[in-house]
Structures are given as structure tokens and as C-alpha cells.
Chains A and B, each alone.
Chain A
Amino acid sequence: MTGLRARHPFTLTFVHCLRRALLPVLGATGASALLRTATTTPLAGLETAPGAQTPWLHLPLVVAAFACAAAAATFWPLFAARRPGRDQVERLQRGPLRGCGAALAGALLAQLVLTLPLMTGFARLLGAPATAVAHVELPVPPQPLLTATQPRLSFALGDRVLDEVRLRPAAGPPTGPWQPTHVRVHVDGAPAAAAEVTFEQSLQLVRVPLPARPLHTLELEFVSGTVPLLFPRGAVVAVEAGTRSGLWNGVRAAWIYLLPSFVALALAMLFGAAATLPTVLTAAGGLLFVGTIGGAGPADDAVRSLLRGHEVLAGRTFSACIPSLAAGSLAMIVAMLLRRRLGR
């Protein structure tokens, strides 16, 4: 029984990916730490910003993702058409995906094993805070414009206990002689501690401290000024009171970083029903590039949130995971149907 498990495509691919990817990941981690020290020119007086360290964490993470995906695609013969040994394995291997799904899972597990220390340990070395705080983007009203003619905007706070709310509106061109816009902040009908705040430019960040009790509504009231303020999604962020474990935040970020690999390998598996290895590898590489370094999908957000000390799944990262999960799952289902059809 133990021997059978050891020869399962999942176990075989997991071990193979770990062997192939371990050294490149270690090398990339060392290179990242060295490059960071060599290329960063510190300036006395500037505060440190862990959120700006994302390139140095991305480097070993991307190497782990690419190495595991390439190792899985080259290892399991059924990942691509016309591979040596493909016919024999196809006859022996059962299941609708002929072991490709298990190989994919093995590659993802290997990547998880490699990225966990990076997300928890290396991220801390780069300055990620030991604790995480939830930052929640508040849903915006249908017409989120605050002007003299539309002087009130209301946001639901959802009975949360909040530390502060962060306002970062986009400013429009002034409607008269330029005067900064003054906004009065009300929480549950009463004025907030920083009752009046001023905006004079686009994307100006203003923090409004809130009382430590469950809150229902936040209301912004236009007081004076000529700068119209637009509050699109993400312009009003609630910072929850209390902190969570930074270690657990790293674990969650590591799971999210698997999503680009999942999508890339699932689509590679789909293409591999008819395409040969170079095509499969190019497709997987391209998809991984777009999903990780390219910033499409949740991986980039997760790394940034981790380093900033924001809870990883609290913001837009969670909703960004759904399309990736759907795309990967759909690709696997289509691959299954296609392989069955081609097998007849």
C-alpha cells in the first residue's frame, strides 16, 4: 500500500518538483537579499516602507512557481502530446485526466512547501509586520460624488468595531476659484473625532479615527470648497480594530500565490491534449508571468498586503481569487472532456 502511494502521480510529481525547484528557489532568495542590499540607496530621513519591498519577495516566489510548473509539465508524460512514454502511461493510468490532475496537485503542494518559509520568514526579514490588520473597502453609493449640489454621501460600516477610516477621493477640476474642499465626517449621526477634514488634491489620504464600538454608518458632508470629490471603489477603507497573526497572514498569502500556478497548469493541461511540450511550456510560462509579475489575479495583491501588514483576504484579494479559481476549474473540466473525446 505504501509502495503504491509512493508511485502515485501526486507523490512522484511532488518529490520531483521539490528536487528540481529547491536549489533555484534558495539561489533566488539569496540573490534577492543580495540585490536588495546592493541596489537600495538609503536616504536618512525617509521612513521605511515594507510595502515597497514587493520586488524582492516576488523574485523567489516567481522562481518557485516557474520551477514547479516546468518540472511538473516536463515530468508527467501526459501533460503534453507526443511525449516519450505517453502511450504506456495512458494505458496504465486510470482516471478522467490520466493522472494530470494529481500531477498538478503534486506541483502545487511542492510550491506551497517552498513558498511557506518565504511568506512567513523571508517576508519578515524584508520588514513585514508581525501582526496583520484587516482593511475593508466599503461599498460605494451609486453616485459617489461629493459636491456643493450633492452634499452628502453615506457608507454602511456593517456593525464593525473600527480603528479608523481612510478616505482617498479623486479630485475633479475646481468649479470656481480654487479652494480646498472641507468635509464634515459623521459616524452614526454624531460628528467624528476629526470632525472636519480637508481635501485639495487627487488621491490625498486622510485618516479619520473612530470610536471603539460597533458602528453602522459613516456620512460625509460637503461643507465648503470648489474641488469636487469622487469616491470610487477603494476610496473609503475601514481599518478594523484589533490585530491578527502575521504568521497566519503569511500562510494565507502562500495559498493565494498558488492560484496563478493552478490556472497556468490547468490551461497547460488543456492545451497538452493536442499540443506538444514546447507549446505547453510556453503557454504555462506566459500565464504564470501574467498572473504573478504581470499583476493580473490575486497574487500581487496578496504579497503587497502581506508586506504592508494588511490582512490578506480582507480586501479585494478575496474577490480577485474567484475568477482564477473559476478559470482553472473550467480548464480542468474542459481538459477532462477533451481527453475523453480524443481517447475514443
Chain B
Amino acid sequence: MTRRSLRNAAAAACMALAWVVAPPTPAVWRQLAGAFVRPALLPFTWAALAEAQRSGDDAEYFARARQLLDLMPTWTDGHAVFAYRLALDERRAAADPTGADAWRRLQTALAWLESARADAGRREVELLQTMAFLPEVACRQQPALAERLAAGGGAAALADRYLAQAERLRGSPEVREQRTFLAPKLAAGLLAAGERAQALGVLATAISRSAEVRDRQLATEWATRLDEVRRWLAGDTDVDLGAVYDDPRFEPLWPHLR
């Protein structure tokens, strides 16, 4: 028996042993297949999403977004931005005086984010904070939705449910006050998607949520920075953004403030 045959036999034995010790699950196979398929499909999927935005309707746009996120299930920021776009559609809000459509869209968006939790891994807490933030932004945009949610305790009760889950996962009560610090990333994602009004809604909600931060000085500074960004995005170009550019927590927003 040659040395090469021995090496091959040893490799085959190791493979068999590995299979016996840790048999691969369907999830592992899916992950392995995804690693090969993803680089080949992503350029076309992104192009199709852009084409849907350029010439398709909303249903096609969100279907393309789902296809994209099926390829990248762990990209929680992507899930958040698309779900927010779905829930906070300004045009539909104007034609929905009863808030029925807004309620349906909010439920769908929350179900979307809920389905993303399975693949979120260590970013599950952040995803839950994003989910907790959404009902409040939606209610700020559509007052009729707030009335609909009032029967179940309102947007705050809905948010509380997600924050309680986040607290359980993190094991720390600071999760509640941290959600306001997610606003720059979320607003940047919406601005990148061309949703200025929705980004302004997120910033306005985050400013009001800054009051939850126990460190009063930090809360005041944070709310001031957020307000500077909000005013600049609303067209007030006289605002001095020096402090915003000095604060690395606002880095996701910098490209949109030039």
C-alpha cells in the first residue's frame, strides 16, 4: 500500500467519523448550499430589486426584497428597513382614515421581523428593539392606528412585549433605554432607500424616546444631536452638524447629511 493510499484511507475514515460524531443537519446543508449559491445570485437579485423600484409596483418591490433577504437571512438591518418601508407607507396612510390598512401593514411588518428572528443569532436583541420601535413610529404617522391599538394597551404595550423578550435574552434592563440609540442606523437605511419622510418619523420617535435614558446629561445630548439631524433633513441647512460628525454613533447618517 502506498503512502498516498494510506493518506486517502485516513481522510475517508476521518470523514466517516465526523459524520457519525456530528451528523450534518438540514440547516447545515442549507448553509453550505447558500455559501455557493449566494455570490452567484446576489448581483441579479439586487438588480431585480432596483428594477422593481424603477418600474414595478409595491407588491413586486417587497416580493423582490423577500427574495433578497432569503439569500441573506442573517442581515437584520435589511429586514428592518424593508419591514419599516412596508409599515410606514405615507401614500397609503393618506388614503386610510380608519387606520385599517395601516394596522394590516403593521401586523405584516411585525410578522416579517418575527420570521427574521430565527436567523438573527446574536443580533436578535437588536431586532426585538427594532420591532418595539416600529408601532410607535407607525402611530405617530397615522393617528387612526393609535386608536385601533388603544384597545390592546396601545403602541407602548406592544413595544413592551418585545422589550420584555429582549430583556430576557440580554438579561439586562438597559435594553429598554438602548432602543433610541438604534435610530441613526434605522434612519440611514430608510434614507438610503429614498424614504425621507419615514426617516424623519423614526428620528422624531427616537427624540421622544430619549427621555427613557436614565443618564440625564446623555439623554439631553442625544436628543439634541438627533434634533440637529432631523432639522437638517427637514431642509434647515443652517444647522451646525459639527457635533454630529464628531459622534461616531451617527456614522451611518453621515453620507446622507452632505
Interface size of B as a range: 35 or more
Q: Which of B91, B200, B235 contacts A204 (CB 8 A)?
A: B91
Provide the residues of chain A in CB contact with B233, threshold 8 Å: 178
Q: Is A43 touching B236 in the complex (CB atoms < 8 A)? A: no
For the complex formed, measure the closest distance between the CB of A185 and the CB atoms of chain B, giving whole angstroms.
Answer: 16
Q: How far, in angstroms, from A47 to B66 measured CA to CA in the complex?
A: 12
Q: Which of A26-34, A109-117, A195-203, A215-223 contacts B (4 or more CB under 8 A)?
A: A195-203
Q: Which of A48-56, A94-102, A335-343 contacts B (4 or more CB under 8 A)?
A: A48-56
Q: Which of B47, B58, B91, B236 contacts A295 (CB 8 A)?
A: B47
Nearest opposing residue in chain A for B110, CB measure: A45
Q: Is B62 touching A46 in the complex (CB atoms < 8 A)? A: yes
Q: How far, in angstroms, from A304 to B51 measured CA to CA in the complex?
A: 10
Given contacts A49-B59, A203-B54, contact A171 B66 (CB under 8 A): no
Q: How far, in angstroms, from A234 to B44 measured CA to CA in the complex?
A: 21
Q: Which of A41, A55, A201 contacts B196 (CB 8 A)?
A: A201
| Binary contact track B105-134/A, C-beta < 8 Å → 1, others 0 | 101100110010000000000000000000
Q: Is A52 touching B60 in the complex (CB atoms < 8 A)? A: yes
Nearest opposing residue in chain B for A234, CB measure: B55
Q: Is B235 touching A177 in the complex (CB atoms < 8 A)? A: yes
Provide the residues of chain A in CB contact with B51, threshold 8 Å: 304
Provide the residues of chain B in CB contact with A178, threshold 8 Å: 196, 200, 233-235
Provide the residues of chain B in CB contact with A308, threshold 8 Å: 56, 60
Provide the residues of chain A in CB contact with B59, threshold 8 Å: 46-49
Q: Which of A39, A45, A54, A168 contacts B107 (CB 8 A)?
A: A45
Q: Is B108 touching A45 in the complex (CB atoms < 8 A)? A: yes
For the complex formed, measure the closest distance between the CB of A190 and the CB atoms of chain B, giving whole angstroms.
Answer: 24
Instruction: Tell me if B170 is interfacial: C-beta within 8 Å of chain A.
Output: no
Provide the residues of chain A in CB contact with B64, threshold 8 Å: 49, 52
Total contacting residues, chain A, CB less than 8 A: 36
Given contacts A43-B108, A43-B115, contact A49 B54 (CB under 8 A): no
Q: How far, in angstroms, from A179 to B62 measured CA to CA in the complex?
A: 27
Q: How far, in angstroms, from A120 to B106 measured CA to CA in the complex?
A: 37
Instruction: Tell me if B70 is interfacial: C-beta within 8 Å of chain A.
Output: yes
Instruction: Tell me if B215 is interfacial: C-beta within 8 Å of chain A.
Output: no
Q: Which of A52, A55, A177, A179 contacts B236 (CB 8 A)?
A: A177
Nearest opposing residue in chain B for A174, CB measure: B235
Instruction: Tell me if B195 is interfacial: C-beta within 8 Å of chain A.
Output: yes
| Binary contact track A268-309/B, C-beta < 8 Å → 1, others 0 | 000000000000000000000000010100000000100010
For the complex formed, measure the closest distance between the CB of B247 and the CB atoms of chain A, giving whole angstroms.
Answer: 23
Given contacts A177-B234, A177-B235, contact A51 B56 (CB under 8 A): yes
Q: How far, in angstroms, from A52 to B55 measured CA to CA in the complex?
A: 12
Provide the residues of chain A in CB contact with B62, threshold 8 Å: 46, 49
Q: Which of A44, A52, A168, A177 contacts B67 (CB 8 A)?
A: A52
Among B9-62, those with CB < 8 Å from A are: 44, 47-48, 51-60, 62
Provide the residues of chain A in CB contact with B52, threshold 8 Å: 51-52
Instruction: Tell me if B194 is interfacial: C-beta within 8 Å of chain A.
Output: yes
For the complex formed, measure the closest distance between the CB of A165 and the CB atoms of chain B, giving whole angstroms.
Answer: 14
Q: Is B194 touching A45 in the complex (CB atoms < 8 A)? A: no
Nearest opposing residue in chain A for B231, CB measure: A177
Provide the residues of chain B in CB contact with A205, threshold 8 Å: 57-58
Q: How far, in angstroms, from A173 to B245 measured CA to CA in the complex?
A: 20
Counting chain B CB atoms within 10 Å of each CB, the highest count among A39, A198, A200, A201 belongs to A201
Q: Is B107 touching A293 in the complex (CB atoms < 8 A)? A: no
Instruction: Tell me if B90 is interfacial: C-beta within 8 Å of chain A.
Output: yes
Q: How far, in angstroms, from A39 to B62 measured CA to CA in the complex?
A: 16
Instruction: Tell me if B100 is interfacial: C-beta within 8 Å of chain A.
Output: no
Among B50-94, those with CB < 8 Å from A are: 51-60, 62-64, 66-67, 70, 86, 90-91, 94
Provide the residues of chain A in CB contact with B86, threshold 8 Å: 46
Instruction: Tell me if A84 is interfacial: C-beta within 8 Å of chain B.
Output: no
For the complex formed, measure the closest distance between the CB of A6 and the CB atoms of chain B, giving whole angstroms.
Answer: 42
Provide the residues of chain B in CB contact with A204, threshold 8 Å: 91
Q: How far, in angstroms, from A41 to B116 measured CA to CA in the complex?
A: 11
Q: Is A201 touching B104 in the complex (CB atoms < 8 A)? A: no
For the complex formed, measure the closest distance between the CB of B16 and the CB atoms of chain A, giving whole angstroms.
Answer: 29
Q: How far, in angstroms, from A176 to B237 measured CA to CA in the complex?
A: 8
Provide the residues of chain A in CB contact with B235, threshold 8 Å: 174, 176-179, 226
Provide the residues of chain A in CB contact with B44, threshold 8 Å: 55, 293, 295
For the complex formed, measure the closest distance between the CB of A279 and the CB atoms of chain B, giving whole angstroms.
Answer: 24
Given contacts A52-B52, A203-B53, contact A46 B194 (CB under 8 A): no
Q: How far, in angstroms, from A338 to B111 measured CA to CA in the complex?
A: 63
Instruction: Tell me if B156 is interfacial: C-beta within 8 Å of chain A.
Output: no
Q: Which of A49, A202, A206, A295 contacts B60 (CB 8 A)?
A: A49
Nearest opposing residue in chain A for B64, CB measure: A52
Q: Which of B48, B90, B200 contacts A54 (CB 8 A)?
A: B48
For the complex formed, measure the closest distance between the CB of A83 and the CB atoms of chain B, giving whole angstroms.
Answer: 32
For the complex formed, measure the closest distance between the CB of A240 and the CB atoms of chain B, giving whole angstroms.
Answer: 17
Among A144-180, those with CB < 8 Å from B are: 168, 171, 174, 176-180
For the complex formed, measure the closest distance between the CB of A133 and the CB atoms of chain B, giving whole angstroms.
Answer: 13
Q: Is B115 touching A49 in the complex (CB atoms < 8 A)? A: no
A-B contact pairs, 10 of them (CB 8 A): A43-B108, A47-B59, A49-B60, A51-B57, A178-B200, A198-B94, A200-B90, A201-B197, A204-B91, A205-B57
Besides A178-B234, A234-B54, 10 more A-B contacts (Cβ < 8 Å) are: A39-B70, A45-B104, A46-B59, A46-B63, A46-B108, A51-B57, A52-B56, A177-B235, A177-B236, A178-B233
